Copies of this chain bind each other. A is one copy, B any other.
Amino acid sequence: MCTAATYKTKDFYMGRTLDYEFSYGDEITVTPRNYPFHFRHMEELENHYAIIGMAHVADDYPLYYDAVNEKGLGMAGLNFVGNAVYQEIQEGRENVAQFEFIPWILSQCASVEEAKKMLAEMNLVGTVFAPQFPAAQLHWILADKYACITIECVREGLKVYDNPAGVLTNNPPFEQQMFLLNQYMHLSPKQPENHFSEQLPLQTYSRGMGALGLPGDLSSTSRFAKVAFTRAHAVSGDSEAESVSQFFHILGSVDQQRGCCEVAEDKYEITIYTSCWNAQKGIYYYNTYENHQITAVDMHRENLDGTTLARYPLIQKGEIRWQN
């Protein structure tokens, strides 16, 4: 499964983990302003905002998992299996295929505010990219430095929620995830006080006991609580290096270690990659399961007025830094 989060210091940061048992072959992909987007049910878009993000590129089309555009609007799709129900194509509406959703929004909207207007006019439909691929069942987190929302297409229709937690994982639907945080209301980075009984000489035998009750397993509800708590209390300097480092610590709190989540005999879900973009600067940072070093692609080092995708395969292998 996956976890996404936002983080704000001087700049605005956002990113996600992609957790799965294998990779489809992912590339950091820059879509320049003049790459023509052919939408299935809508007109071609010839000029648009440039986008950088992680994608599986098929037939020269960037199937983005998560991305940010040059205006600082970012978006990530996360698994939502069993709850995602796409809409029917409806005339008079803007019919957007599920796999086009990130390009559709990021190519045209400069802010969450603008995106909300487009969401009001669109149907999210289940048209598949290719006949052999079923539509991925996803929900989305969309954020800029001013606002964060969650978008879910369920049986009852397309739902848009304010997301004050700034995080997203997977099932259950977002409103239930938020409800569950009520159970953790009392958790704190400070030590607990003894309310159990004044008669008892209870002790804080360890630091960090104020968050006792925070779950540590890898289920989607537990990751939601763990990462929401970590993000809510995260403290760092506001330099680029410190902000990015802290962001990787936030998502590192829900890292999926190989072996701890068995999805089939000898098959394990792991955190294939973790991403973090600086929404203002258009820099896409990431690391992978085997490559712990923070690696980066800067969209502004590409020709953003071009017409073809710039693609950088994930560097999967870590480099040791030798001191002697």
State the CA gap A182–B192 with chains docked (Å): 10
Interface residue? A63 (CB, 8 A): no
A226 contacts B216, CB within 8 Å?
A: yes
Q: Hey, which chain B residues are within 8 Å of A207, CB to CB?
A: 1, 218-220, 261, 263, 269
State how many copies of this chain the complex holds: 4
Q: Hey, which chain B residues are within 8 Å of A23, CB to CB?
A: none
Q: Hey, which chain B residues are within 8 Å of A221, CB to CB?
A: 183, 206
State the CA gap A165–B199 with chains docked (Å): 7
State the CA gap A195–B189 with chains docked (Å): 9
Task: For residue A200, give the distance in angstroms from its CB to the closest CB of chain B.
Answer: 5
A10-18, A69-77, A128-136, A243-251 - the one binding chain B: A243-251
Q: Hey, which chain B residues are within 8 Å of A88, CB to CB?
A: none
Chain B residue nearest in CB terms to A166: B199
A209 contacts B219, CB within 8 Å?
A: yes
Interface residue? A82 (CB, 8 A): yes
Instruction: Identify A257's interface contact among B82, B195, B250, B295, CB under 8 A.
Output: B250
Q: Hey, which chain B residues are within 8 Å of A222, CB to CB?
A: 208, 212, 216
Q: Hey, which chain B residues are within 8 Å of A172, CB to CB?
A: 179, 205
Task: For residue A97, give the distance in angstroms from its CB to the closest CB of chain B.
Answer: 26
Chain A residues 276-324 with CB under 8 Å of chain B are 285, 287, 289-290, 292-298, 301-302, 310, 312, 315, 317-324
A320 contacts B292, CB within 8 Å?
A: no
Known: A196-B181, A312-B324. A233 touches B259 (CB 8 A): yes
Known: A260-B230, A296-B322. A220 touches B249 (CB 8 A): no
Chain A residues 181-223 with CB under 8 Å of chain B are 181-190, 192-197, 199-222
Task: For residue A212, give the distance in angstroms from its CB to the closest CB of chain B.
Answer: 5
Task: For residue A208, give the distance in angstroms from its CB to the closest CB of chain B.
Answer: 3
State the CA gap A322–B260 with chains docked (Å): 31
Instruction: Identify A229's interface contact among B184, B193, B196, B242, CB under 8 A.
Output: B196
Task: For residue A35, give the distance in angstroms from its CB to the closest CB of chain B.
Answer: 17
State the CA gap A324–B303 with chains docked (Å): 12
A258 contacts B246, CB within 8 Å?
A: yes
* Subset of 17 A-B contacts with CB under 8 Å: A185-B202, A186-B194, A187-B217, A188-B195, A208-B222, A209-B219, A214-B217, A216-B226, A230-B257, A233-B260, A234-B259, A235-B259, A245-B289, A252-B252, A292-B293, A294-B318, A294-B321
